[in-house]
Amino acid sequence: MTVPLKYAHVERERRWLLATLPDLSGVPMTITDQNFVGTRLRLREVVEGEAVVRKLGHKVRVDADAGEVACTNFYLDDAEWALLSGLPALALQKQRWRVVRDGRRVAVDVFDGRLAGLVLAEIDRGSGPDRGLPAGFDAVAEVTFEEAFTGAALAGASRTELVAAAAKYGISLPD
């Protein structure tokens, strides 16, 4: 199926599983995602200082894998947020730091709750060349194409499933 891109932004992201936290400074943003089961829809709330952004996102893979995703977002007011956030969904929460290394922006996500201990680094290369993850990150493996480390899969993962997925790469998370 061809994905119509008229209103979508294409993300060309790569993700890496990190063994340890890199040096982080500043204040992270708190991201809470609610993924609606059986759909490609996600509610996202981003809190950064006093600013709160709430949106409904629709993500469609451009190809069969997670390397390119067409994203469309609708920004929500309080009434829209209240209505949609009451629907059943699978949630996850993380702290996101923006890090700049070698002139490249890297998002470092540190997960909370049942996903505690999971640390991922992510780069969206946009339409530019793919230069990979800059030095200074304790990357164990690239997990861009590992379904278990996509946002929707993580939202639905149990602690046991996460521990098993991390163990495949030598990462030991407490049960």
Name all domains of the chain by residue range, CATH numbers in brackets.
9-167 (2.40.320.10)
| pLDDT given at position 69 | 83
Q: Looking at residues 61-70, what average pLDDT do you find?
A: 76
Q: What is the pLDDT confidence band of residue 138, given thresholds at 50, 70 and 90? A: very high
* Dihedral (Cα; 110, 129, 69, 152), 10-degree rounding: -20
Number of Cβ within a 10 Å radius of residue 61: 15
Give the span between the Cα atoms of 108 and 29, in whole angstroms: 11
Q: Looking at residues 11-28, what average pLDDT do you find?
A: 90
Q: Looking at residues 66-73, what average pLDDT do you find?
A: 83
The overall average pLDDT reported for the chain is 91
| pLDDT given at position 12 | 85
- Full 3-state SS string of 8-29: CEEECEEEEEECCCCCCCCCCE
Comparison of pLDDT for 53 and 66, the residue scoring more: 53
Phi–psi pair at 162, nearest 5 degrees: -65, -45
| pLDDT given at position 1 | 55
Give the span between the Cα atoms of 165 and 156, in whole angstroms: 13
Q: Looking at residues 41-48, what average pLDDT do you find?
A: 97
DSSP 8-state secondary structure symbol assigned to residue 4: P
Give the span between the Cα atoms of 60 and 150, in whole angstroms: 13
Residue 8: is its pLDDT beyond 90?
no
